[in-house]
Structure 1
Amino acid sequence: MTAPVELSGTYQGAELDDIIRTFTASRPGATPAQLSFAITTSPIWRDSIKIAEAKRAQHAAPVFMYQLAYPSPTLVPGTDLPVGSPHASDINLKFANTDYILNKDQSRERLATARHMSDLWAGFAHTSRPTAAGVPRWPAYTPIDRGTMWLDARCRIVNDPARNERLFWENQACAWRPTSQVTRPC
């Protein structure tokens, strides 16, 4: 049995119930803490999608999307629950900064994830395409397949990750925007 998810913010009542129901269905087995982190940071992913689609619409350069999939064993403060991969937990990994002082997790998986991330970023800086040895070819993002690199010790491409969550937020945005502000079909 899991404890209820507690969220602060502007969501209440039926709207909050819909959010929790959507994320619980999307993430079976997630702890309440993991659901809380996912819900409170999901606007960052939603906005990343908007930025990627706007950038792609410029037809100037390919766009590449990723999500950190490495499940950090770092604990939620004051609990024995792991946080998973919350927002900003990828920053030091991008630079292969695996300093023990910064993060006590020195597992082979975390070190491999850091190597993949830093190699992909270096490949992108060198060739304008994120490439690295031992990592699948990273396709450019399109609104059709929404190919996203799942960064972990074993990287993989996931098409339209968190699809139900994305659709939930898109439907919410349409429900709250006046028709005159809707620039694409909802």
Structure 2
Amino acid sequence: MRLRHKPWAADFIKEHQDLVIPDPFEQKGKWQQLFPKEQPLGLEIGTGKGQFIAYMASHNPDMNFIGIEKAESIIVTAMQKVMDQGVSNALLVHENAEDLRDMFGKNEVDTIYLNFSDPWPKVRHEKRRLTYHKFLEQYQDILKEDGKLILKTDNRSFFEYSLVSFSQYGMTLEDVTLDLHASGDESNIMTEYEEKFSSKGQPIYRCIATF
């Protein structure tokens, strides 16, 4: 899907550097200093239009959240949603972070969220999948010892690939759900994609894994 260009996006981001951190690589090991108080830290990789992180921050005031999104025309929508919630425990990063270890210190993150990541279905693109072992190495380094990786997707093939990847890496699968919305988990916060797919009857798959 082609992104609609928003000529005002760059200026909007610059005007809100308290929300979209302008120097994220300088914050390595120091992210908690940017929040009003130190709390468990959740990281969403590919935050999209921001509904998940905005609502998670609103529903979980005892946690801090960071959302990474590389698309300028998308992150401004996330900014607006976070601002609409009036929360102080959510920050955004406008970067294409190839190695999260450049941005986060060892054991700095409590939970990583992978929500409806690009499945990159072609075999030659396997290395781009966010559950490929090279990414798992990064997650393991920045997560605390008891930290969790939570994956949600509507793509069955990507989900199955991820489960195999987790297992081969030696991770523990704490919870595997093949139809999240049928499970009655009232704590689940939906993303925009999740609402769209589930409304059409598409099952949502979720896995909670630890290293």
TM, length-normalised to structure 2: 0.26
Q: Choose 1 or 2 for highest CA Rg.
A: 1
So what's the TM-score if we normalise by structure 1?
0.28
Structure with a larger share of its residues in strand? 2
